[in-house]
Structure 1
Amino acid sequence: MRKTATLTTSLLAAALLVTGCGSEKKDDSPAKVSEASLSASAGSGAKGSSSPEKGVSHQVVFEVGGTGSAQVMWNGNSNHFEQVTLPWTKTETMRLEDAQLKVGVTVSVLPGSVKGSDGMLKPAPCTIKVDGKQVADNQDGKSSEPCEYKLKD
């Protein structure tokens, strides 16, 4: 439910930003010019930024351990669900812009089940790394919760 609310909030914020940008009336008042200047400069030179454009890029690595195959669902730039061969790694570059910089974007990986050393099924181990730093894990499969992290600046 929280993911849906966050996604809905992000989509509504994006829609408001897009509809506000199409106005033909030009307002060059000092307040509007200052606002635009601050907004445009907010992303330039920010950590992790790969260009002077507005926004910040991060490298996100999703990993699921184990052997054999499993269903894996992950959420990065979009939602994915597929059968994979373990161990499995997926790397995505995510660019946060505008409201995403403050609100953030949730990235997650939900691994399928693998056979444990005792022969019982358990969640496969998963991790998420952002810019080379591990930010989430499921304690080597001991937790049934997905690996999840709120990516923001």
Structure 2
Amino acid sequence: MRKIITGAALVLTTVLLAGCGSDDAPAAADKPATSAQPKAKPGGGSGEVKREVTLEVLGTGTSSVYYNLDTNKMEQVQLPWKKTATITLTTDAEKKVGHLVSVVPGSVPGPDGMLRAASCVITVDGKKVADNQDGKSNKPCEYKVK
């Protein structure tokens, strides 16, 4: 009895697998090769979005600056300092969630001689989108570019 059930299951499995394969064969033969099909853009056909992003750290003298723009980097710079890059958003997720850009300014002497955070500003397509209130905020300048 076990041999009959095992044999029947094997025959049924073979028939089902052969039937599934035969349905796909004509459809695959009707389609052109994938190399002949145009490549879809990762953005789901809605195209890529480009934004010009500028990071600035204001003040005088030298300071360290950590930034996340087109790369993550820390530099010792002469103030005032400016870095501009074009951010390209290609996927729907990037367009919806955004691409985080940030700048963490180093310390500079304040009017009273005490060290304080340098002033930072982020602009996107010429519009100011973030700042640290002329160094009064202890948070870095950051913005999600969408």
Task: Tell me the TM-score normalised to structure 2 length.
Answer: 0.70
Deviation, structure 1 residue 121: 0.2
Computing the radius of gyration from Cα coordinates, the structure with the larger value is 2
| Equivalent residue in structure 1 for 2:135, among 133, 138, 141 | 141
Task: Tell me the TM-score normalised to structure 1 length.
Answer: 0.66
SS in 2 for 1:42: coil
Deviation, structure 1 residue 41: 2.9
Identical positions, percent? 56
| Equivalent residue in structure 2 for 1:63, among 56, 59, 72 | 56
Counterpart for residue 82 of structure 2: 89
Partner Cα separation in structure 2 for residue 102 and residue 88 of structure 1: 30
Identify which range, 96-105 or 132-141, moves more after superposition. 96-105
SS in 2 for 1:102: helix
Q: AA paired with 1:105?
A: H
Aligned Cα root-mean-square deviation (Å): 2.3
Cα offsets for 1:66-103 (capped at 9, x unmatched): 00000001101110101000000000111011121112
Deviation, structure 1 residue 135: 0.2
Counterpart for residue 50 of structure 1: none
Partner Cα separation in structure 1 for residue 97 and residue 126 of structure 2: 22
Cα offsets for 1:99-150 (capped at 9, x unmatched): 2111211100000000000000000000000000000000000011000001
Give the paired residue count.
110
SS in 1 for 2:45: helix
| 1:125 to 2:119 alignment | yes
Partner Cα separation in structure 1 for residue 59 and residue 138 of structure 2: 15
| Equivalent residue in structure 1 for 2:66, among 64, 70, 73 | 73
Deviation, structure 1 residue 40: 4.5
Unaligned runs of 5+ in 2: 1-27, 32-39
Q: AA paired with 1:113?
A: S
Counterpart for residue 144 of structure 2: 150
Partner Cα separation in structure 1 for residue 112 and residue 142 of structure 2: 27
